[in-house]
Amino acid sequence: MSARKLDPEKLRSALDAQLVALDSPAYDGPAAALADALVGAVMTAYDRGLTPERTALRFAVRHTLDRLAARSPGRTVEVRVPPFAAVQAIEGPRHTRGTPPNVIETDARTWMELALGRLDWTEAMAKGAVSASGARADLSGHLPVQ
């Protein structure tokens, strides 16, 4: 499954808005690194105890979910981070209709921490930060994605 192409202008706008909220200078790096810079800015907001800008968080979640789908292609597990995005990933039997048999759902901050390796899958499950149903709903072997 190929990753969705995120609009560079929208990414830059979201990144710059997040940087302004962090009292940081505007991004002046390469366009190819926009999405990763955005992820970094969102995590900096969390690290400072701030709520990330909504658009920045949405793009960061989409980017990291797309990375998961690219690294672990398939349609066996649906990973949902409402209200921002969802992807199907991981090789195996696929579903074609209705709710998939293997579903993982979590909030944006938990997903970002999992995707970046700041939070371990087992720890997230133990503290109830992730809802996972189905025999294949385990991302421990697919994380981190960055």
pLDDT digits (tens, 9 = 90+) for 42-66: 999 999 999 999 999 999 999 999 9
Question: Is 23 part of any domain?
Answer: yes
What is the greatest pairwise CA distance in the chain?
47
The pTM of the full predicted model, rounded to 2 decimals, is: 0.92
User: How much is the pLDDT for 101?
Assistant: 82
Listed as ranges, residues in the chain with pLDDT below 50 are 1-2
In a domain? residue 123: yes
Residue 51 vs residues 29, 87, 105: alpha-carbon distances, Å: 24, 24, 20
pLDDT given for residue 3 in this prediction: 53
Q: Is residue 28 part of a domain?
A: yes
What confidence score (pLDDT) does residue 1 get? 39
| Percentage of the chain modeled with pLDDT above 70 | 93
Position 142 scores a pLDDT of 96
- Asked, for residue 146, whether it belongs to a domain, the answer is no
Residue 105 domain flag: yes
Query: How many other CB atoms are found less than 10 A from the CB of residue 102?
Result: 23
Which CATH number does the domain housing residue 38 bear?
3.30.1050.40
Task: Report the half-sphere exposure of 21 (CA within 13 A, side-chain side).
Answer: 23
Domains contained in the chain, number: 1
Q: Which domain holds residue 18?
A: 8-133
| Geometric angle at alpha carbon 115, from 53 and 126, rounded to 5° | 105
